[in-house]
């Protein structure tokens, strides 16, 4: 019996690119999809917010000097492409999935409508939220906090390359240790980078815990939903 019933999984765009310089790596997206499908089969309702960094990187040079809001809209469109790829890979792997966009782009993907998203989740479909919050000057971490709060997710699961929050950068300092759990306040005092400040504040204010874990560690997502010690829990 999973410990969690409804989760909001935040995947950065970079999670999809494997060892490529940018773009989407087929094998990597399929591995992630397999992990998601497994927890969905356990009966966990899964919503995903996907980033766009992997695609945006390819155009970042050209975005230098651009109007910030315009560049951010480009970033949001990049998340739509990732969401389409993720939704497609889920469906191909036999998991029912729906993509919903925060920006109206109706010919391509249906708009985000909260009751509809809740209905899909209750039907056991994986819902992929595209286009972040739909507003420039925000990040997909903030979209994850926002959607997580809106759909009543029990937790935001932030997938990173590192398997949790460490006392120091484990790549630079081999003596660094992983926090099993830490409060929002302590993470702030210790200046630990969990999410950007807006996302962090929203989760803390809404009493929405965050678990930082590695999506690249096989079975880690499943262990998280079963309530096992995995990654770092950031709590109120
Ligand atoms: N973005 C935005 N508003 C949002 C979410 C994203 O303007 O609500 C833009 C922003 O430019 C951001 C880009 O989309 O840099 C891609 O999102 P993010 O950097 O969060 O993706 P990740 O780093 O997780 O791949």
Look up the pTM and report it. Answer: 0.97
Q: Band of the pLDDT at 64, cuts 50, 70, 90?
A: confident
> Is there a single domain that holds both residue 45 and residue 111?
yes
Q: Give Cα 6 distance to the centre of its chain.
A: 14
> Is there a single domain that holds both residue 68 and residue 126?
yes
Could you give the CA distance from residue 87 to residue 125 in angstroms, rounded to a whole number?
A: 11
CA of 180 to the centre of ligand 1 (A): 28
> Is there a single domain that holds both residue 78 and residue 177?
no
Tell me: is residue 10 an annotated ligand-binding position: yes
> Does the structure show a pLDDT above 90 at 57?
no
Q: Band of the pLDDT at 139, cuts 50, 70, 90?
A: very high
CA of 165 to the centre of ligand 1 (A): 22
Q: 95 lies in which domain range?
A: 1-161
Q: Do 211 and 234 contact (CB within 8 A), yes or no?
A: yes
Helix 68-92 crosses helix 26-41 at what angle (to 10 degrees)?
70
Could you give the CA distance from residue 201 to residue 30 in angstroms, rounded to a whole number?
A: 33
> Does the structure show a pLDDT above 90 at 203?
yes
**Total domain count, the chain:** 2
CA of 28 to the centre of ligand 1 (A): 20
Could you give the CA distance from residue 31 to residue 91 in angstroms, rounded to a whole number?
A: 14
Give percent of the chain with pLDDT exceeding 70.
100
10-14, 85-89, 171-175: which range is least confident on average?
Answer: 171-175
> Is there a single domain that holds both residue 65 and residue 177?
no
Q: What is the CATH number of the domain that holds 61?
A: 3.40.1160.10
Q: Do 100 and 110 contact (CB within 8 A), yes or no?
A: yes
> Is there a single domain that holds both residue 86 and residue 185?
no
Nearest residue to 54 (alpha-carbon basis) of 25, 86, 89, 90: 25
Mean pLDDT of the chain: 95
> Is there a single domain that holds both residue 155 and residue 170?
no
In the prediction, which pLDDT does 78 show?
96
The 10 Å Cβ neighbour count of residue 16 is: 26
> Does the structure show a pLDDT above 90 at 90?
yes
Helix (H) or strand (E) holding 91, with range, is helix 68-92
> Is there a single domain that holds both residue 96 and residue 188?
no
In the prediction, which pLDDT does 1 show?
82
Q: What is the DSSP letter of 112?
A: P
């Amino acid at each position: 019996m999973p410990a969690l019933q409804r989760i909001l999984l935040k995947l950065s765009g970079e999670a999809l690119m494997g060892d490529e310089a940018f773009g989407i790596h087929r094998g990597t997206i399929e591995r992630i999809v397999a992990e998601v499908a497994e927890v969905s089969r356990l009966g966990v309702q899964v919503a995903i917010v996907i980033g766009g960094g992997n695609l945006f990187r390819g155009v970042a040079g050209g975005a230098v000097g651009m109007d910030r809001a315009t560049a951010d809209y480009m970033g949001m469109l990049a998340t739509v492409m990732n969401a389409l790829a993720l939704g497609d890979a889920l469906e191909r792997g036999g998991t029912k999935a729906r993509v919903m966009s925060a920006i109206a782009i109706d010919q391509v993907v249906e708009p985000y409508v909260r009751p509809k998203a809740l209905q899909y989740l209750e039907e056991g479909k994986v819902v992929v939220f595209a286009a972040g919050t739909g507003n420039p000057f925000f990040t997909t971490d903030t979209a994850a906090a926002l959607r997580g709060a809106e759909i009543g997710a029990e937790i935001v699961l932030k997938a990173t390359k590192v398997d949790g929050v460490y006392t120091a950068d484990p790549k630079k300092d081999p003596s660094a240790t992983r926090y099993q759990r830490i409060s929002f306040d302590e993470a702030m005092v210790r200046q630990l980078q969990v999410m950007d400040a807006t996302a962090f504040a929203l989760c803390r204010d809404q009493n929405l815990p965050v678990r930082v874990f590695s999506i690249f560690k096989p079975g880690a997502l499943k262990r998280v939903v079963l309530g096992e010690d995995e990654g770092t829990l950031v709590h109120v």
